[in-house]
Structure 1
């Protein structure tokens, strides 16, 4: 039985230990209290700190960075951590900004993590749109990541990235057999832009999961920042009204405590 050990550190940040590899998603390790500008008059305050310190992390083989230009996905301490990883996989524009070991992947591009004595992990960039139609020039590039390696029994491990539900994300359900999904939620909204949402709320998230039919759904990116407008309670209420089979697929990761997930 193949397992991945996943530790939720806070916000979108997770440590994925699988097939002998250690991968970190969207590093955010600053303490709470600071307010960060997201551009165009939008900002957010970090309301809770990470469950682990950077000093408590194991050596990292790779960082999977869905985007580099918003502090709730890469804050100051997280940025300082990047050089310690062998490779940083991110968007093409993010790789240009970061330099160093960063490599940019356009949607459906693939990168192979390879090392003697370990099965290779195939990392495929997946489409994401961090807001409503036509918002990409304002909010910038975002990507998701689908991870495949030899021995998986239930399909790929997919990190959605910060995205709304749109045709590009639905395409993942058509092209990738997803067994486990790290589902970015939060219903991000800002006073300046009114009702517009920049990540999924519960309803579209459940619609996506009905398309995917994954074995395991692991929600992340729903707590710890003031611009997250929909938390766990709202998602659980939506799940209570959904069919029992779908609800049973959701597992809430305990902060800072590793969880072994059958993949």
Structure 2
């Protein structure tokens, strides 16, 4: 995608620069070492910190927050940063909790980022299910985001959000053309629930990308926390075995300030 720049800051947190906009996804900036509760007897320890501190990022025009109730997607320092963002887009329940004019979307709802001198961006919320069937009351609502802007050539920029592979997320490539996907991975598991997983496995990611056929695949949210059961090696193996050269479309963004796509 021309004019698109993505910098991986850590976990799900990226800086997306396009059309004059500087958009932050799922801000997480706490230092490593702390254990966070995820509710219902589950928890996870953060092992690695961000590649950039908030004051190194510069001004932010908008935050796309897939959900506000898990610390690996919004931690204490990330929450403090929200007050500096002119626009925050998240789930409906998350917007009610955050207040401050946050925009809440349900799946397939749309809103726009529009400002003089910048390309208009249409943001469409996409379905997520953050766990196995019937887990939504426990895991809470999550959304992904599909971004389309003026003069976009090939398709949307899709942020999957924390989700497993299910009917709702499979609808995305049927309803829109995906050019670049920011793929939330990690196959999250907790000892309390055994083999059940709460985010995409490597095999599910291959199946989803086979459906979506993106030109560029950017893996994120696969490292730095104890609740991830699959990391980069598992993802690389799965994509290397995928047909049609799918693995050649993977773009790993190293976690250093100078590295971006």
TM-score relative to the length of structure 2: 0.98
Could you tell me how far apart the structure 2 residues matched to 1:190 and 1:14 are?
Answer: 25
Aligned to 1:145: 145
Deviation, 1:244, is 5.2
Paired residues of 1:83 and 1:101 also in contact (CA < 8 A): no
Residues 171-190 of structure 1: CA deviation (Å, up to 9, x unaligned): 00100111000000000000
Let me know the Cα RMSD of the aligned residues: 1.0
Aligned to 2:98: 98
Matches within 5 A, 1:36-51: 36-51=36-51
- 1:237 aligned to 2:234? no
Residues 224-250 of structure 1: CA deviation (Å, up to 9, x unaligned): 100011000111111222225201111
Give the match's secondary structure for 1:163: coil
Could you tell me how far apart the structure 1 residues matched to 2:226 and 2:185 are?
Answer: 14
Runs of 4+ with >6 A deviation:
none
Deviation, 1:153, is 1.5
Aligned to 1:203: 203
* Unaligned 5+ runs, structure 1: none
Deviation, 1:3, is 2.2
Residues 178-232 of structure 1: CA deviation (Å, up to 9, x unaligned): 1000000000000000100000011010000000000000000000100011000
Aligned to 2:155: 155
Aligned to 2:222: 222
Aligned to 2:135: 135
Paired residues of 2:112 and 2:122 also in contact (CA < 8 A): yes
Higher relative contact order (CA 8 A, sep 6+): 1
Aligned to 1:86: 86
Aligned to 2:258: 257
Paired residues of 1:24 and 1:62 also in contact (CA < 8 A): yes
Paired residues of 1:154 and 1:215 also in contact (CA < 8 A): no
Deviation, 1:258, is 4.2
Q: How many residues align?
A: 260
Paired residues of 1:7 and 1:15 also in contact (CA < 8 A): yes
Give the match's secondary structure for 2:151: coil
Could you tell me how far apart the structure 2 residues matched to 1:128 and 1:72 are?
Answer: 16
- 1:191 aligned to 2:191? yes
- 1:20 aligned to 2:29? no
Matches within 5 A, 1:48-127: 48-127=48-127
Deviation, 1:62, is 0.5
